[in-house]
Structure 1
Amino acid sequence: MRVPALLVSALCAIACVGPASGEALTRPLAQAQVQASEPAPRLLLMLRLPPPHFRPDLAYGGRYGDDGGSAARRRIAADLARGHGLVLKDGWPMPAVGIDCYVLEVPLGVSPERAAALLDRDPRVAWVQRVQRFSGMAVAIGDPLYPAQPGARLWHVAELHRKVTGRGVVVAVIDSAVDRSHPDLAGQVVDAQDFVGNGAQAEAHGTAVAGIIAARGGNGAGIVGVAPGARLLGLRACWQQAAETRCDTFTLAKALHYALLHPPRVINLSVGGPQDRLLATLLDAALARGITVVGAADALGTSPFPASHPGVLAVAAVEDPPTPGAAPLRAPGRDIPAPLPGARWGFVSGSSFAAAHVAGLAALAAQLQPKPPLHPATLPNTATIDACATIARISGACACSCMSDASQP
């Protein structure tokens, strides 16, 4: 897939952040927002849209869900479900990629694999897949607020912000719920949507990721984000379950589709899981539209997607040891001060937060390059990001103190 070439070449010159497997969160944790129970196995049924309804451009804004065709497709989905002993639970139109997506619950005694194989034979069906599980890429460490941000020391963000802050750039944070009332995030979230649906107001992982990307500066409290001038789309596709952050194919797909219809310049996905066809289709659509997508890498390789998807900027924590298949980009990812729900702060660690650093840096780059050209790019095996050099290469001028390679072309 394609990645903005100028940004990639600049990032690969110098780099930051490393992977962590599993996911928990820092202490103190916000009150857990717990999914009530483990769901029965579920399948996703994709029905193709007829050509008149498939409008892949970003200007699509019709009341898609109210048209007769949508009702007819829902009837088809219900009939297919009944015919295979399944239960239709939910549906979501995804005109940006030419499908309607339906959730089918698999009752006890029915084989999900056999049901999927039989459904796949129907000519009206684009494809069928399992609803898969994803997790945030964090590890729990510490709780007092660290007095100096790694980004402030290693990335010279104060110097960078004299030149660029991410002003005018929107970053979509597809994650758990962001605390929009937090002192570091007040006024930073321009739109918030909940694709999980259990009413959570604020959760730790999403709040921390959002703060690292775009926490306000000059408010006399907390931290300053890598791109404090950027604004955020808070798209809740994950939920906090005890000390972990969980998502699934359907919730992530709904959030990605929303981002396609309300396009940001950057999408941050600090989650990991198995390869997923529906999410890959949506990622390809985002990359084709010139959106920079940043993903958190998994050090163990057990949850490689979406960071492994071609065109996604895969980010690992610079502090973690190299592993086979490690992410090509590395950023600060250990003992990172970050906002937490309830006007609190704490340490966070993991590739989730390394990815957030790179998403912020991508927002800085996007301010300098409003319409970056898309070209195929090859990422090196490893590269530790030097934020000053990255911005210097894009702007053509010294971004920081010019003490090292930052001024080199």
Structure 2
Amino acid sequence: MTRFIACLALLTLIWVRPVMAQDWQLANADTLAPATFLILTIPRDDPEALAALGDRLEADFNVPLTAEWPLNALDVHCFVFDARDVADVQELIDQMEADTRIRTVQRIRNFTLTEMYHSDPLLPMQWALKGMQVLPVHSKWRGEGVRIGIVDSAIDRDHPDLAGQMVDLRDFVAANPEPVAEAHGTAIAGVIGAGVTNEGIVGVAPGAQMVGLRACWQDGSTPGVCNSFSLARAINFAILNDIDVLNLSIGGPDDPLLAELIETALQAGIVVVAASGEGDALVYPAALDGVIAAGQGVGKSVPAPMIDVLTTAPGASHRYASGSSIATAHVSGVVALMLAKDPALTPRQIAQKLSAAIYATETQPMLSACKATFGPNAECAL
């Protein structure tokens, strides 16, 4: 088995033109069941020894190697092993953790795209932009020069509201991807950055450069699902490719590998915005220190529109969407407006400015894009 250590940017798969020339053993993320597939990270002190090490670990622990790829952002190599036929997976994990060749080991975790469905055709079109006082900012700033990484399901780049808004699309779910368009990712992209030169909707930051990082896929029972394998690869790409804002409209269990990657992203100056969840407590990764949680009425989350928001849907259509996923998209868009005005802002400074830009409406607290961008004493009347 031949393996080469190379830049992950050369290994990722472009939706429109799949990159086939690669030597990493990848797998479709949606085939890796949670709890019974294990991700191991290995130090890259001796890259030439990695090929033999993969074979030895496979033999020593009697589990088949399913996938491998480099996480250059952490300077490690990852192996995925299939432990479905192991009687006691936890015992296997304990044995692997005791092995000095292995840096970390964990189970694959699943995450879900957070959303609630509500539909009311009588709601004012795009009430959220008015409620968040976005339009006064558009007179000066629209997110120009800011790159937003949308870790989500597949985005319909051909939608009239999104045509020209997506500067890149990458697929970390399918080993050999084909062009697809999925509802959740398309909705998030519309809220963040739908363009202004059309007859459809306009996003919070229509001047931003959006990068679609498909790490989630639709399934029949939920808006979508992601896992540690696909999310780690997508976040790694974001760290290595000049992403300024990382939108994570997902929620799930604590995950050590993703926590390490998100911490690395924050240290690199990337602003990470994540969904607070729909319950009474912050979900992961919104609960991580340094991550900006977005939602309504949950812990320390930044309040943003999340009920019956008109946005884009696959096939040149529109729909109403709800949930903390939608709130996350709004906050990511506001962050892009802030960075367009002042690119030197750090993630911590942005979080402080967002907290100072919350104002009281007749029904609930709400983030003001105007106050976040121009200051808490700005005159923000439409």
SS of the residue corresponding to residue 244 of structure 1 reads: coil
Q: Provide the C-alpha distance between the structure 2 equivalents of 1:37 and 1:131, rounded to a whole number of angstroms.
A: 8
Q: Provide the C-alpha distance between the structure 2 equivalents of 1:93 and 1:297, rounded to a whole number of angstroms.
A: 30
SS of the residue corresponding to residue 161 of structure 2 reads: coil
| Change in 2 beyond 3 A, CA 1:342/1:99 | same
User: What's 2:44 paired with?
Assistant: 49
Aligned pairs (5 A) from 1:19-98: 41-50=36-45, 69-70=46-47, 72-98=49-75
Contact 1:391 1:399 in 2 (8 A): no
Asked if 1:264 corresponds to 2:237, the answer is: no
Give, in angstroms, the shift of residue 79 of structure 1.
1.5
Letter in 2 for 1:265: D
User: What's 1:331 paired with?
Assistant: 304
Aligned pairs (5 A) from 1:5-404: 41-50=36-45, 69-70=46-47, 72-142=49-119, 144=121, 146-197=123-174, 199=178, 201-221=180-200, 223-242=201-220, 243-300=222-279, 304-316=283-295, 318=296, 322=297, 326-373=299-346, 384-393=366-375, 398=378, 400-401=380-381
| Change in 2 beyond 3 A, CA 1:177/1:252 | same
Letter in 1 for 2:115: A
Q: Provide the C-alpha distance between the structure 2 equivalents of 1:128 and 1:354, rounded to a whole number of angstroms.
A: 33
Q: Provide the C-alpha distance between the structure 2 equivalents of 1:147 and 1:71, rounded to a whole number of angstroms.
A: 60
SS of the residue corresponding to residue 259 of structure 2 reads: helix
Q: Provide the C-alpha distance between the structure 1 equivalents of 2:60 and 2:206, rounded to a whole number of angstroms.
A: 53
| Change in 2 beyond 3 A, CA 1:40/1:285 | closer
Aligned CA-pair RMSD? 2.5
Q: Could you list the per-position Cα deviations for residues 51-71 of structure 1 after superposition, in whole angstroms to 9, with x for gaps in the alignment?
A: xxxxxxxxxxxxxxxxxx545
Letter in 2 for 1:228: P
| Change in 2 beyond 3 A, CA 1:145/1:226 | farther
Q: Which runs of 5+ in 2 are unaligned?
A: 1-28, 359-364
User: What's 2:16 paired with?
Assistant: none
Q: Provide the C-alpha distance between the structure 2 equivalents of 1:213 and 1:255, rounded to a whole number of angstroms.
A: 19
Letter in 2 for 1:169: V
Q: Provide the C-alpha distance between the structure 1 equivalents of 2:135 and 2:185, rounded to a whole number of angstroms.
A: 24
Give, in angstroms, the shift of residue 362 of structure 1.
0.3
Give, in angstroms, the shift of residue 123 of structure 1.
1.0
Higher relative contact order (CA 8 A, sep 6+): 1
Letter in 1 for 2:88: S
Output the TM-score relative to the length of structure 1. Answer: 0.78
Q: Provide the C-alpha distance between the structure 1 equivalents of 2:313 and 2:379, rounded to a whole number of angstroms.
A: 31
Letter in 2 for 1:305: Y
Give, in angstroms, the shift of residue 40 of structure 1.
7.7
Give, in angstroms, the shift of residue 132 of structure 1.
0.2
| Change in 2 beyond 3 A, CA 1:248/1:373 | closer
Identify which range, 226-235 or 108-117, moves more after superposition. Answer: 108-117
